[in-house]
Structure 1
Amino acid sequence: MGTIRAQEDGWEARARIGVVVPHADVGPESEFQAIAPEGVFVHSSRVHFGAMRAGGEMDPKIPHDPVRAFIQPPHIDNAVELLAASPLDAIALGFTSSAYVVGASGEKDLFARLAEHTRGLPLTGTTTAAVAGFTALGARRIAIVNPPWFDDRLSGLGADYFTEQGFDVVHHGPCGLPSNQKLITPEALSEWIRTTVAGHHPDAVLVAGNGIRAVGVINALEQELDFTVLTANQVLFWHTLHLAGAEEAARGITGYGRLFSTQPPGGAA
């Protein structure tokens, strides 16, 4: 008998990344998989988010109570525990606004609680990853572009979060685009950053919110503008890869920003 030459079947993996997402959001999974190099796979678990309806529909501005409820026990704890039961290497929380609402100390408390359900797997979130990304890039003056469904108060809480971490927030606010995931295009987001943010001369900009279509603008904007571009899912994926011990895979990613040529401060911590 001849030797069977098996086709790629998805079982051999360089890394397996878990991501917890709102029940009606496909953004984090879509952008993670777009960036992922060969052999890196994305697996998700879903938690009900009261500000989203079937089909991904949302109100023009999301209320804050569902944001806070998203990270309350037991649902997110159960989602993390079920995800961690799989043979993964690290877990990401694909949600930004909860960290804005509870602040850096509240986020640390959340991570400590969820650590009881991760089976020892490392876990990170968007804002924690962004702090690591800004630090790795040496960026101190930062701008934050929030989704249009964040209100001014939520945006202000986000600015407070990063100010508490020692960054100089030179601009923040919800972007002036249609408050509908399906209507935000790379062209429109690029133009908003070009005309609204560039004049503040930040070292780096973060396009926050894991549900906003953003990773496709990174490379072109960095080539055009004199600052680094981070987006929620890009920086979260970068940090999670390093936590997973997949540094080589992370360094091999091109076309999604200067970030992937850097290492988180203190390794993957």
Structure 2
Amino acid sequence: MTEPSRVPDDGWRARARIGVVVPHADVGPESEMQALAPRDVVIHGSRVHFGAMRAGGEMDPKIPHAPVRAFVEPPHVDTAVDLLAAAPLDVIALGFTSSAYVLGAAGEKDLFDRLGEHARGLPITGTTRAAVAGFAALGARRIAVVNPPWFDDELSGLGADYFAEHGLDVVQHGPCGLPSDQKLITPGALSDWIRTAVARAEPDAVLVAGNGIRAVGVIDALERDCDFAVLTANQVLLWHSLHLAGAGHVLPEITDYGRLFTVTPT
């Protein structure tokens, strides 16, 4: 009797499918979220033009604020959410950080209320609201925010204000002192900078903000060596998305990417 042939994985079976809206020239959110996710959790991207990025992911050393605000204005981001929601997904995520800084907590709520009208009933989250949920789940009150080098001091200050509006004590914030070029930032350099510049503030948790900064590779070693939790933009976005998708049961399978994956939203 002939043994039945084994059917190779064809990618159609998934425990969760996450749709993520990203800037047109940024591969960071999809790359990092897929690297963290178990094999049968699949990331599907939708792209929106971001006026501060050029082909190949090139940016100015400091991004202007007008394109940040424009990224989340209708109609393009609304259309991206609407098109993602037409697919058989479980949750939609906005892979963009700086818009929440510019809008503030109230403006961000208005944004998600508007985008929710295009999400066809799917839950929707974003980086900063996921980070707030992550801090709460970890019991972290004193936080440090490490922003990408392409955020200027004013944008970083707006980010500190955003988290303060959510009742968090921002003990340190600012753009990290690394080259303002996605391709030149490595996990080793970012980790060394955080150890030198942030650890002395003694935060309960550190957020490496900005979905376009290469960051998930620093989490495990920093948490082992330093007395704080480490959150990064794409890590916390995946964590919150999985919970909203009803797929929290897969979290124990995600190892080496921080204690965040051992807690649930409160």
TM-score for the superposition, normalised by structure 1: 0.97
Distance (whole Å) between structure 1 residues aligned to residue 62 and residue 225 of structure 2: 31
Corresponding residue for residue 152 of structure 2: 151
Corresponding residue for residue 16 of structure 2: 15
Distance (whole Å) between structure 1 residues aligned to residue 260 and residue 59 of structure 2: 31
SS of match in other structure, 2:44: strand
1:215-234 correspondence to structure 2 within 5 Å: 215-234=216-235
Corresponding residue for residue 263 of structure 1: 264
Distance (whole Å) between structure 2 residues aligned to residue 3 and residue 80 of structure 1: 42
> In the TM superposition, what is the alpha-carbon distance from 1:50 to its structure 2 partner?
0.1
Give the aligned residue type for 1:84.
A
> In the TM superposition, what is the alpha-carbon distance from 1:250 to its structure 2 partner?
1.8
Higher alpha-carbon deviation: 218-227 or 244-253: 244-253
Distance (whole Å) between structure 1 residues aligned to residue 174 and residue 143 of structure 2: 12
Distance (whole Å) between structure 2 residues aligned to residue 101 and residue 23 of structure 1: 20
Give the aligned residue type for 2:258.
G
- What does the per-residue CA deviation read over 1:34-78, in whole Å, with 9 as the maximum and x for residues that have no partner? 101121000000000000000000000000000000000000000
Unaligned runs of 5+ in 1: none
Distance (whole Å) between structure 2 residues aligned to residue 250 and residue 123 of structure 1: 19
Distance (whole Å) between structure 1 residues aligned to residue 153 and residue 212 of structure 2: 18
> In the TM superposition, what is the alpha-carbon distance from 1:4 to its structure 2 partner?
3.8
Corresponding residue for residue 197 of structure 2: 196
SS of match in other structure, 2:63: coil
Higher alpha-carbon deviation: 245-254 or 217-226: 245-254
Give the aligned residue type for 1:166.
G
Give the aligned residue type for 2:42.
F
Distance (whole Å) between structure 2 residues aligned to residue 234 and residue 52 of structure 1: 22
Give the aligned residue type for 1:128.
R
Distance (whole Å) between structure 2 residues aligned to residue 2 and residue 116 of structure 1: 51
Unaligned runs of 5+ in 2: none
- What does the per-residue CA deviation read over 1:98-128, in whole Å, with 9 as the maximum and x for residues that have no partner? 0000011111101110111111000000000
Give the aligned residue type for 1:160.
D
> In the TM superposition, what is the alpha-carbon distance from 1:252 to its structure 2 partner?
2.0
Distance (whole Å) between structure 2 residues aligned to residue 127 and residue 165 of structure 1: 11
1:47-196 correspondence to structure 2 within 5 Å: 47-196=48-197
Moved over 3 A (4+): 1-4
SS of match in other structure, 1:58: coil
Give the aligned residue type for 1:97.
S
Distance (whole Å) between structure 2 residues aligned to residue 104 and residue 171 of structure 1: 19
Give the aligned residue type for 2:168.
F
Distance (whole Å) between structure 1 residues aligned to residue 154 and residue 251 of structure 2: 35
Distance (whole Å) between structure 2 residues aligned to residue 136 and residue 63 of structure 1: 33
- What does the per-residue CA deviation read over 1:184-235, in whole Å, with 9 as the maximum and x for residues that have no partner? 0111100110000000000000000000000000000000000000000000
Distance (whole Å) between structure 2 residues aligned to residue 4 and residue 120 of structure 1: 40
Give the aligned residue type for 1:238.
W
